A = this chain, B = another copy of it.
Amino acid sequence: MGHVKRLKCLVCGTEYDENEVMYTCPKCGDNGLLEVEYDYESIKREFTKEYLSNNKSYSLWRYLPLLPINDPSKIAPLQVGFTPLYQVPRIREDLGVSNLFVKDDGRNPTASLKDRASAIVVSKAQELGKTEITCASTGNAASSLAGATASLGLKSYIFVPKNAPKAKLTQLLVFGATVFAVNGTYDEAFDLSIKATREFGWYNRNTGFNPYTVEGKKTVALEIAEQLSFDVPNYVFVSVGDGNIISGVYKGFFDLLNLGFIDRMPKIVAVQAEGCSPVVDAVNGDGIIKPVVPNTIADSISVGIPRSGIMAVKYIKNSNGFGIKVSDEEILKAIKYLGTMSGIFAEPAASTSFAGYLKALKEGLIKGSDKVVVIITGNGLKDIDSAMKSVKEPIYIDPTIEDVKRKVMEINELFRRR
């Protein structure tokens, strides 16, 4: 058995046994996000630094005692997590900063951080004996769910906005999901999937609505902390859509603080696109989430009604963090900068966090000596059309060395004139 003590409503504080509720607080409805509370004393007896250093599990399951899993025999086979934390030496030199790290979570099985949540939710579904799972998604949560269900032989029913990037839709179909391409927004797809959950009795993975998504996503913070030998960064920059990943990041550090592995919390920084910034506006303002009509190239964070917004705002404030907004142009520039300077390829929603970091540094909100981790949430291969907007065309040539020489001379000439 796992070490979950209870689930507690973020709004009304009602406490539930873990078998008593499945999704949000029955009293508070969709706003009633549940926090998963653990018996830390019981975890401490199992989860020690020695346990970790002897641990040969190179995936998020290395943190099993900290996860809401009651039957480890039911976990899905895809190897999720254990992604690299890079020191990015060229970027440090270029920016004159000494302590920057980039966590490349595009290295997960379906190429996004969402695999962490799907791994947990699918295991919970198995524990509950559910064989059909649904979710609404801007794309990544869906493809991660479809990959996880494929590995186990569960059925997945996915609701995506019909304009989701082709790569994400294709992943879903290759993984054998039943894909409903909704003639509407992500927010409409979300509501529809909840109605379908009630109608058909499917298990629902929706971000926030299912309390275990945060528990999966927190493993990115557990990894960051371990990779930094539990010497906590000053800031962690996170792209924000629903607010679920950033809540997970907070929760991971919070668990480690309660377990005595770290001695303080990092400041958590929310980055959103200027065209869709309800969480940042709430964090920097009165704390109240106001829905917006999203307008940004960063599809994964194009979320007008952030489903974990309340939790995100609470956690960011608790951590003494802040919010920052970046333009679509800055998001595209960050893709190119990160790629050219580190070899990391981020999708727009993923480079958003890095664009926010660059802006915060420029505006003096953080110092060059601060220890900072920027999380890259998804691989650029997920959205090639957007990435193309960040770069120039290749140089078209005929297969002759004369043509190559001519073009190389032109490049060198251009370079000299600069």
Q: Mark A residues whose CB is within 8 Å of B.
A: 58, 77-79, 82, 84, 86-90, 104, 107, 109-111, 146-153, 157, 160, 162, 166-167, 169-176, 178-184, 188-189, 191-192, 195-196, 199-200, 335-336, 339-345, 379-382, 384, 387-388, 390-392, 394-401, 404-405, 407-408, 411
Give the residues in chain B near A398, CB-CB below 8 Å: 182-184
The residues of B that contact A90 with a CB separation of less than 8 Å are: 150-153
In the assembled complex, the Cα of A345 lies from the Cα of B110 at a distance in Å of 8
Q: Which residues of B have CB within 8 Å of A183?
A: 396-399
Chain multiplicity (copies):
2
Residues in B neighbouring A335, C-beta threshold 8 A: 174
Give every chain B residue within 8 A of A78 (Cβ-Cβ): 84, 86, 343
19 contacts between A and B (CB under 8 A): A77-B86, A77-B88, A79-B107, A90-B152, A109-B343, A162-B396, A167-B381, A170-B380, A170-B384, A171-B339, A171-B380, A174-B340, A176-B341, A181-B394, A183-B398, A184-B398, A195-B401, A200-B408, A381-B381
Report the 10 A-B pairs with minimum CB-CB distance, sorted nearest first. A176-B340, A174-B339, A147-B343, A173-B391, A179-B394, A381-B381, A184-B399, A151-B343, A79-B84, A188-B399
Contacts of A379 in B (CB 8 A): 111, 381
| CB of A261, distance to nearest CB on chain B (Å) | 19
Known: A109-B107, A399-B188. A336 touches B174 (CB 8 A): yes
Contact residues in B for A110 (Cβ distance below 8 Å): 343, 345
- The smallest C-beta distance from A45 to any residue of chain B, in angstroms, reads 26
Expressed in whole angstroms, the Cα–Cα distance for A192 and B403 within the complex equals: 10
A178 to B180, CA, bound (A): 41
Minimum CB–CB distance from A263 to chain B (whole Å) comes to 24
Please, which residues of chain B bring their CB within 8 A of the CB of A387?
170, 174
CA A84 to CA B90, docked complex, whole Å: 29
**Alpha-carbon distance A270/B148, docked complex (angstroms):** 30
CB distance from A91 to the nearest CB of B (A): 10
Residues of chain B contacted by A396 (CB below 8 angstroms):
162, 181, 183
Q: Is the CB of B196 within 8 A of A388?
A: no
Chain B residue contacts of A192, Cβ below 8 A: 399-401, 404
What residue in chain B is nearest A93 (Cβ atoms)?
B153
- Complex Cα distance, B196 from A84, in Å, reads 35
Q: Which of B58, B174, B404 contacts A58 (CB 8 A)?
A: B58
Q: How far is the CA of A43 from the CA of B51 in the complex (A)?
A: 32
How far, in whole Å, are A180 and B402 apart by their CA atoms in the complex?
13
- Closest chain B residue to A53, Cβ basis: B56
Query: How far does the alpha carbon of A352 sit from the alpha carbon of B192 in the complex, in Å?
Result: 39
- A170-B391, A192-B401 provided; 14 other pairs, C-beta below 8 A? A90-B152, A146-B343, A167-B384, A171-B380, A174-B380, A174-B387, A176-B339, A178-B411, A180-B394, A180-B407, A183-B398, A195-B401, A196-B401, A379-B381
